[in-house]
Amino acid sequence: MDKLIIKGDGAISGTLKISGAKNSALPILAASLLADGPVHIGNLPHLNDITTMITLLRCMGVEITLNEKLSVEIDPRSVNELTAPYELVKTMRASILVLGPLLARHGVANVSFPGGCAIGSRPVDIHLKGLEAMGAKISIDGGFIRARCNGRLKGANITMEKVTVGATENLLMAAVLAKGTTVLHNAAREPEIVDLAEFLLAMGAQIEGIGTGTLRVHGVSRLNSCAFTVMPDRIETGTFLAAGAAARGKVRMTHTRADTLDAVLLKFEEAGAHISTGDSWIELDMKGNRPKAVSFRTAPYPAFPTDIQSQFMAMNAVAEGKATVVETIFENRLVQVHELNRMGANIVLEGNTAIVTGVESLKGAPVMASDLRASASLVIAGMVAKGTTIVDRIYHIDRGYECIEEKLQQLGANIRRVAG
Ligand code: UD1
Burial environment of residue 33 by CB neighbours within 10 A (0 to 12, 13 to 18, 19 or more)? buried
C-beta atoms surrounding 150 within 10 Å = 10
pTM for this prediction: 0.97
pLDDT tens track for 60-101: 999 999 987 789 999 999 999 999 999 999 999 999 999 999
Please state which of the ranges 55-59, 197-201, 365-369 shows the lowest mean pLDDT. Answer: 365-369
HSE-up of 242 (CA within 13 Å, CB side)?
31
236 lines ligand 1 (CB under 6 A): no
Banded model confidence at residue 53, pLDDT cuts 50, 70, 90: very high
**Distances, alpha carbon 399 to alpha carbons 26, 282, 336, 404, in Å:** 12, 24, 17, 11
Q: For residue 222, which phi and psi values (nearest 5 degrees)?
A: -150, 155
Q: Can you tell me the distance from the alpha carbon of 404 to that of 218, in angstroms, rounded to the nearest whole number?
A: 41
Q: Can you tell me the distance from the alpha carbon of 335 to that of 10, in angstroms, rounded to the nearest whole number?
A: 26
Residue nearest to atom 4 of ligand 1 (CA): 307
Cβ atoms of residues 313 and 347 within 8 Å: yes
What does the pLDDT read at residue 25? 98
CA of 164 to the centre of ligand 1 (A): 5
What does the pLDDT read at residue 420? 74
pLDDT tens track for 279-306: 999 999 999 999 999 999 999 999 999 9
- 117 annotated active-site: yes
pLDDT tens track for 157-201: 999 999 999 999 999 999 999 999 999 999 999 999 999 999 999
Residue nearest to atom 31 of ligand 1 (CA): 164
CA of 123 to the centre of ligand 1 (A): 9
Average pLDDT over residues 371-397: 94
278 lines ligand 1 (CB under 6 A): no
CA of 36 to the centre of ligand 1 (A): 29
Average pLDDT over residues 17-32: 98
What does the pLDDT read at residue 116? 61
What does the pLDDT read at residue 369? 82
Average pLDDT over residues 381-392: 96
371 lines ligand 1 (CB under 6 A): no
Peptide bond into 300 cis (omega under 30): no
From the alpha carbon of 129, which atom of ligand 1 is closest? 23
Asked if residue 117 has pLDDT above 70, the reply is no
Choice from 92, 98, 158, 165 to test ligand 1 binding pocket (greatest atom count within 8 A of CB): 165
What does the pLDDT read at residue 10? 87
Distance of CA 415 to the CA centre of its chain: 24
Q: Can you tell me the distance from the alpha carbon of 238 to that of 172, in angstroms, rounded to the nearest whole number?
A: 27
164 lines ligand 1 (CB under 6 A): yes
Cβ atoms of residues 47 and 395 within 8 Å: no
C-beta atoms surrounding 207 within 10 Å = 19
Residue nearest to atom 17 of ligand 1 (CA): 123
312 lines ligand 1 (CB under 6 A): no
